[in-house]
């Protein structure tokens, strides 16, 4: 623990200058910076995802992509620019996004007499940089779908989208973000609803089994649903500070966009009918969720299934050019890569052979969230042992064969423990209340999830949320039949609804 | 060959309504449409890449990504929007791109009194939708690089870029396209030059070994180089009509962008120095090259290494619900997937079990460019044979074990033959000339590559190119020492240079 003692005073024993319980939002910024994940650049709210952050996104993306393809969807790519008139086609939709649209008005730059660059060549029709793609994909669907034989049409897109956020936060709210957006069309409402819930369930599996973050699947209230949707479902997670994060949404769009975009088909009986559509998406926001769910006072904590590197091997690198520890490390890497996690994935192992002081390298890997750090010194070369540190545990030395044989299990158990820790947190910080005062007192004292029956009245929801600075998160699908007197208007009844402060 | 006979008259024996030799540009459009690769949508020049086209891009992307990573580069993601002032930093650069910049001027839409949507919230600084990212990545590099220990910095980005093309063509020139752009910084000119050539070589390997398209590696003339670069290298291919396609470029940027973006580092001797940078990229344009290099009068022809599906199995699907042919097809698929190509990749096999007429399914696969099409009827179920058609060959029937054992070899040989066919074409259509009249006569008669010594004078090049409607493609690296009297000004000497009409 030499590095620790060197880089921190006795009273501050963590790798970050700030603990979670001191200032959670500031701690978040420190984690991002210390793990070299991302930064804001010159344009307000536009994030650069640095190699360490992008590597996490690549693992998430490849896993999700395989899941989305396995459920029958094909990838395609639609234009970045949406004609302004397209957005107007669905009234609720445009009103929902108008406030945050980046508008391209010119197609050229020219030099003014003074040598300054000025926008020229005004466009005939102004273009919106996509905030989401329902309207432009709807236009394509209206041409691609002619007959009932063209249905269901199951499409996914990986893309960047732009929403002019006024209060940007790295990963959580950025002007530009990366996401996948699924768009499907069906011949019946029932089938479209099934698809909506199937993708919600896919997101749950990804969040819980790959990100090790327990989530609640639920239905959004009218006030919180996607502009233009009939029903919006979401997976909601609790962060370590008790606030909620919406990690993914799945929308049943009914025939709203089919009518707005004219997505019609000839049914087997010859009749012309409008299709039923869905859309669903998750974004780089997931990385923000990862940080806030698992991070600790030493920095990022990566669950093994989405970690670009699960095991980092740090050979002692000496100035005298003795490469024996590096060779030893490379051999260990190859042996480890032959073993597999419970999920079937191969172990992801990296050797860091830079010539840095041992402590410096070790603490860098800690801040980067590596689950297992193996340190290779002279002793290991001699006696056939491995000295490693599992995040959150003490350093141990065991025989090399034993380590190779058990590494996958250690990582599997560690991921499970991360999940369980989050589950316990959520249980501890969730209360069920039956009176409004009780709810007010709860949020006055701290954060967490409040479960309360709610009638769903939009104006009432708005009033409560403004008064307590909270929001409804969802009506959990698991308790959707649990109906009782509304917390704010006992003359009406409604389902159990989760309330929380949210990111 | 029943399907063929059914769908085409005796005099027109191809799956497309037009042959290459009748009208190559129109034939190209037919191939794209018949294989369902892409289309233009509502915004002029903005392409939608349909699932069949995107699947090809995904195979190319994953192969290239692995190659780029294996050569030491890490992926990151930089903002879509570039402040207008950034572009101004490198004079030649901004002048090169100003004419095709999409400019974001507003951050909001509001409803006018008449209910129309109008752009509002003018931005303090207007934003350019990236046409390329040297300046914005340069800004990040100026912060990431402090010391010689931070070099080399080897970064790659997969992204969309926008250039307001006036004469769009699907894949070849589109307003928005997908690409990778590598950006690296080094401590010496020599190392940056090595990187530039290393990536050019990587592109050559990808083009020749994966796309089966022979390319010429060469240096661009001053007139043709990237705005802001000291040297631009390219891989140039010949299409079947004798025109050239630039398939990838790699730029040695010297210290131009380092000075423009202030990319400085403290050297080991303590002195502050500017870095040396490179950039290099390939785009969805490669798919256009694939089509024009290999396509035939029946449609797309996919070289096996980049084909999403190399073998399509078409079981006869009967209305009576007898699933035996489908089961047989699935079993064959599993057996095939266990074998590997020379490259080590597993075979990519798909079963198409839609209930269509055999001929219809067969010809769809032909138009989609599938290398091997297996048709499964009653006979195959009974006698343990496989009936298949290798693109361009006759239908044959062989024993199932023999087919499984030889499928990978057949595909490897087929890819090699595609490459050799292209190589022969290029040899046939390349001439070496020593006089200007000879060159004029060549292009008056048709298309191809002309090799001629050229002094490199920019004004002279401009005059020749305007007169003959051609361009210089590159000075091939293989013959860079072959210097002789200039074709247009024999008083000067210059290296052998390739001239051609180009896409």
Report which of B56, B19, B51 is spatially closest to residue B38, judged by C-alpha positions: B51
Burial (Cβ within 10 Å: 0-12, 13-18, ≥19) of residue B110: middle
Strands A74-75 and A153-162: parallel
- Phi-psi sector, B483: left (phi>0), alpha (psi -120 to 50), beta: beta
The predicted pLDDT at position A202 comes to 98
| Upstream peptide bond of A240 is cis (omega within 30 degrees of 0) | no
Query: Could you give the domains of chain A?
Result: 30-103+129-294 (3.30.930.10), 304-426 (3.40.50.800), 430-500 (3.30.110.30)
Overall average pLDDT of the A448-452 stretch:
98
Opening angle at CA B289, ends B288 and B292, nearest 5: 85
Of B54, B79, B99, the CB nearest to A43: B79
Q: Give the list of residues 6+ apart from residue A166 with CB closer than 8 angstroms, or none.
A: none
Partner-chain residue, chosen from A46, A49, A53, that has the shortest CB–CB distance to B81: A46
Tell me: pLDDT of A356 over 90.
Answer: no
Mean pLDDT of B279-289: 98
Q: Do A107 and B98 touch (CB under 8 A)?
A: no
What is the DSSP track for B342-377? Answer: TTSPBP-EEE------HHHHHHHHHHTT-SEEEEE-
CA diameter of chain B: 83
Reading the block at residue B422, the tokens are 């292209």
Sort A259 into a burial class: Cβ within 10 Å, 0-12 / 13-18 / 19+: middle
Per the CB < 8 A criterion, the answer to whether A166 and A251 are in contact is no
| B328 in Cβ contact with B335 (< 8 Å) | no
Q: Which residue of A has its CA nearest to B84?
A: A117
- Render pLDDT for B131-172 as a digit per residue (tens, 0 to 9): 999 999 999 999 999 999 999 999 999 999 999 998 999 999
Cα(A302)–Cα(A391) distance, integer angstroms = 10
For residue B78, what pLDDT is reported? 98
What does the block give as tokens for B282?
């390939």
Q: What are the structure tokens assigned to A64, written together?
A: 């999700």
Search chain A and give the residue with CA nearest B62. Answer: A62
**Length of chain B, in residues:** 503
pLDDT above 60: residue A317: yes
C-alpha dihedral over B249, B252, B255, B256, to 10 degrees? -40
Q: What are the chain A neighbours of B98 within 8 Å (beta carbons)? A: 108-111, 117
Reported as a single tens digit per residue, the pLDDT across B18-28 is 999 999 999 99
**Residues of A with Cβ-Cβ distance to B141 under 8 angstroms:** none
Residue owning tokens 């709860």: A442
In terms of pLDDT, which residue wins out, A13 or A416?
A416
Look up the ipTM and state it: 0.96
Can you tell me the distance from the alpha carbon of A429 to that of A423, in angstroms, rounded to the nearest whole number? 10
Pair of tokens at residue B87: 């572009």
d(CA A83, CA B501): 35
Q: Which two tokens stand for residue A66?
A: 């395989």
- Looking at residue B283, its pLDDT comes to 98
| In contact, B317 and B354? CB cutoff 8 Å | yes
The fraction of chain B above a pLDDT of 90, given in percent, is 87
Q: Which of B41, B47, B103 is opposite residue A139, by nearest beta carbon?
A: B41
Neighbours of A121 (CB within 10 A): 16
Interchain contact, B80 vs A117, CB within 8 Å: no
Which residues in chain B are contacts of A112 at CB distance < 8 A?
Answer: none
Do residue B139 and residue A41 have CB atoms under 8 angstroms apart? yes
Q: Measure in Å the smallest separation between the Cα of A193 and chain B Cα atoms.
A: 24
Q: Residue A355 is inside which H or E element, if any?
A: none
DSSP 8-state secondary structure symbol assigned to residue A314:
E
- Interchain proximity A55–B47, CB inside 8 Å: no
Least confident of A378-382, B42-46, B229-233, B425-429: A378-382
Give the minimum alpha-carbon distance from A29 to chain B in angstroms, rounded to a whole number: 18
**pLDDT at position A334, please?**
97
* Cβ contact A41–B176 (<8 Å): no
Search chain B and give the residue with CA nearest A98: B109
User: Measuring CA to CA, which residue among A141, A153, A163 is closest to residue A45?
Assistant: A163
* C-alpha span between B38 and B20 (Å, rounded): 19
Q: What is the mean pLDDT of residues B340-351?
A: 92
Which whole number is the average pLDDT over A117-127?
A: 95
Average pLDDT over all residues of chain A: 94
Q: What is the H or E stretch that residue B56 is in?
A: helix B51-70
Q: Which two tokens stand for residue B498?
A: 């390739």
Query: Which residue in A39, A42, A356 has the most chain B C-beta atoms within 10 A of its own C-beta, making it the best mutation to test that interface?
Result: A42
Other Cβ atoms within 10 Å of B150 Cβ, number: 15
**CB-CB contact of A218 with A230 (8 Å):** no
Q: In terms of DSSP bridges, do strands B311-315 and B349-351 run parallel, antiparallel, or are they unpaired?
A: parallel
Check residue B123 and give its pLDDT.
96
Predicted local confidence at residue A6, as pLDDT = 39
Four-residue CA torsion sign, A32, A33, A36, A41: positive
Say if residues A367 and A52 touch (Cβ distance below 8 Å). Answer: no
- Ramachandran region of residue B453, left (φ > 0), alpha (ψ -120 to 50) or beta? beta
Classify residue B115 as exposed, middle or buried by CB count within 10 Å of its CB (0-12, 13-18, 19+).
Answer: exposed
- The pLDDT of residue B380: 85
Position A382 scores a pLDDT of 87
Whole-angstrom distance, CA of residue A163 vs CA of residue B108:
9
> What pLDDT is stored for residue A381 in this prediction?
85
- pLDDT, residue A4, reads 40
**Reported confidence tier of residue A358, pLDDT bands at 50, 70, 90:** low
- Residues in B touching A100 (Cβ below 8 Å): 107-108
- What confidence category does residue A316 fall into, taking pLDDT thresholds of 50, 70 and 90? confident
What whole-number distance in Å separates Cα of residue B1 and Cα of residue A377? 69
Asked whether the predicted pLDDT for residue A167 surpasses 60, the reply is yes
| Single pTM value for the model | 0.96
Structure token digits, residue B197: 């050539």
Structure tokens at B252: 């040695």
Q: Please report, for residues A138, A159, A245, the alpha-carbon distance to residue A282 in angstroms, rounded to integers and kept in the order given.
A: 19, 11, 12
pLDDT band, very low/low/confident/very high, at B3 (cuts 50, 70, 90): very low
Check if the beta carbon of residue B157 is closer than 8 Å to that of residue B180. yes
Fill in the DSSP letter of residue A345.
P
pLDDT at A5 over 50: no
pLDDT score of B9: 39
B43 vs A contacts (CB less than 8 Å): 79, 81-83, 127
Q: Can you tell me the distance from the alpha carbon of A463 to that of B64, in angstroms, rounded to the nearest whole number? A: 54
Over pLDDT 90: what percentage of chain A? 87
Say if residue A416's pLDDT is above 70: yes
Give the closest-approach CA distance of B484 to chain A in angstroms.
Answer: 41
Helix axes A189-205, A51-70, angle to 10 degrees: 140
State the DSSP code for B389: E
**Residue B358 pLDDT > 70:** no
Which of helix, strand or coil describes residue A66?
A: helix
Task: Give A240-284 pLDDT, tens digit per residue.
Answer: 999 999 999 999 999 999 999 999 999 999 999 999 999 999 999
pLDDT tens figures, B112-129: 888 889 999 999 999 999
The answer to whether the CB atoms of B106 and A102 lie below 8 A apart is yes
Nearest to A15 by CA among A454, A389, A413: A389
Mean pLDDT value across chain B = 94
Cα pseudo-dihedral B201, B206, B209, B214, rounded to 10: -70
Which of A13-27, A406-420, B199-213 is predicted with the least confidence, judged by mean pLDDT?
A13-27
Q: Distance between CA atoms of B170 and B374, rounded to whole angstroms? A: 31
pLDDT 10s digits, B442-475: 999 999 999 999 999 999 999 999 999 999 999 9
**What average pLDDT score do residues A71-75 get?**
98
What are the start-end ranges of the E strands in A335-442?
Answer: 349-351, 372-376, 385-390, 395-399, 430-432
Phi and psi, residue A91, nearest 5°: -60, -50
Give the torsion sign (CA, B47, B53, B54, B60): negative
Residues in Cβ contact with A353 at an 8 Å cutoff, skipping those fewer than 6 apart: A315, A317, A326, A329
């Amino acid at each position: 623990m030499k590095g620790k003692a060197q880089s921190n005073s006795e009273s501050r024993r963590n790798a970050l200058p700030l603990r979670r319980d001191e200032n959670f939002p500031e701690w978040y910024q420190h984690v991002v910076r210390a793990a070299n994940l991302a930064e804001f650049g010159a344009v307000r709210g536009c994030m650069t995802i640095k190699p360490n952050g992008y590597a996490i996104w690549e693992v998430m993306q490849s896993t999700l992509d395989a899941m989305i393809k396995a459920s029958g969807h094909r990838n395609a790519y639609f234009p970045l620019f949406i004609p302004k008139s397209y957005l107007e086609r669905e009234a609720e939709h445009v009103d929902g996004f108008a406030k945050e649209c980046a508008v391209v008005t010119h197609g050229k730059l020219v030099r003014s007499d003074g040598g300054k660059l000025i926008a020229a060549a005004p466009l005939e029709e102004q273009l919106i940089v996509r905030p989401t793609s329902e309207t432009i994909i709807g236009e394509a669907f209206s041409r691609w779908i002619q007959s009932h034989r063209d249905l269901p049409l199951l499409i996914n897109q990986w893309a960047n989208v732009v929403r002019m956020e006024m209060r940007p936060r790295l990963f959580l709210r950025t002007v530009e973000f990366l996401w996948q957006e699924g768009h499907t069309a069906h011949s019946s409402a029932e089938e479209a609803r099934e698809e909506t819930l199937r993708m919600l369930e896919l997101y749950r599996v990804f969040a819980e089994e790959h990100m090790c973050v327990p989530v609640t699947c639920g239905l959004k209230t009218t006030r919180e649903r996607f502009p233009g949707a009939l029903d919006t479902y979401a997976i909601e997670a609790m962060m370590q500070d008790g606030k909620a994060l919406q990690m993914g949404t799945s929308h049943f769009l009914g025939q709203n966009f089919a009518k707005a975009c004219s997505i019609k088909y000839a049914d087997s009986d010859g009749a012309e009918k409008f299709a039923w559509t869905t859309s669903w998406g998750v974004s780089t926001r997931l990385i923000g969720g990862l940080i806030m769910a698992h991070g600790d006072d030493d920095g990022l904590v990566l669950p093994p299934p989405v970690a670009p590197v699960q095991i980092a091997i740090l050979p002692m690198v000496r100035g005298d050019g003795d490469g024996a520890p590096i060779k030893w490390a490379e051999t260990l890497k190859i042996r480890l890569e032959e073993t597999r996690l419970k999920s079937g994935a191969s172990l992801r192992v990296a050797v860091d052979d830079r010539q840095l002081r041992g402590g410096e390298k070790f603490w860098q890997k800690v801040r980067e969230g590596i689950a297992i750090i193996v340190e290779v010194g002279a002793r290991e070369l001699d006696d056939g042992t491995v000295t490693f540190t599992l995040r959150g545990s003490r350093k141990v030395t065991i025989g090399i064969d034993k380590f190779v044989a058990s590494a996958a299990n250690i990582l599997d158990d560690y991921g499970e423990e991360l999940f369980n820790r989050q589950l316990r947190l959520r249980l501890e910080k969730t209360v069920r209340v039956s009176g409004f005062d009780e709810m007010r007192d709860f949020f006055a004292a701290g954060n967490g999830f409040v479960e309360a029956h709610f009638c769903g009245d939009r104006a009432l929801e708005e009033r409560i949320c403004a008064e307590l600075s909270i929001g409804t998160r969802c009506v959990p699908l698991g308790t959707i039949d649990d109906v009782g007197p509304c917390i704010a208007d006992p003359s009406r009844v409604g389902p159990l609804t989760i309330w929380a402060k949210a990111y």
